[in-house]
Amino acid sequence: MNYPKGINDEKFRAIMSEDQGVVITGGLGPSKGKILGVGSMGDVTSAHIQRTVDAMAKTFSKLGYPVDPKRVADVAVRGP
C-alpha cells in the first residue's frame, strides 16, 4: 500500500507497533518510505484483518490524516 502524502513511514510504523501492537513492514530500496506491507505467519481470520485495518485507521487519524471509520470497516469486510 502506498502512503498518503504527508505520512512518514517510520513514524507510522512506530505508532502502529507501540500504540496498537500491530507490526507492519516498510518498503525496501526505491520503495523505502513510500509503501507499507502487511503479512502473516500462519492462518489469518477476518478478525485479524479487522484488527489490522482498525489499527491502521487509528494510526492515520493520530497522524492527522482523515479516516472514515465506516469506510474502513467496509474495506476490511469487502475489500477496496
Cell numbers given for 49:
484483518
Q: What pLDDT, on the 0 to 100 scale, is given for residue 46?
A: 83
Task: Please name which of 57, 65, 70 lies closest in space to residue 16, comparing C-alpha atoms.
Answer: 57
- Which pLDDT does position 41 carry in this prediction? 86
Residue ranges per domain, the chain? 9-78
Does the reported pTM lie above 0.75?
yes
Exposed, middle or buried: residue 2 (CB in 10 Å: 0-12, 13-18, 19+)? Answer: exposed
Q: Give mean pLDDT, residues 1-16.
A: 92
pLDDT tens digits, one per residue of 10-26: 999 999 999 999 999 99
Summarised one tens digit per residue, pLDDT across range 23-69 is: 999 999 999 999 999 888 889 888 888 889 889 999 999 999 988 87
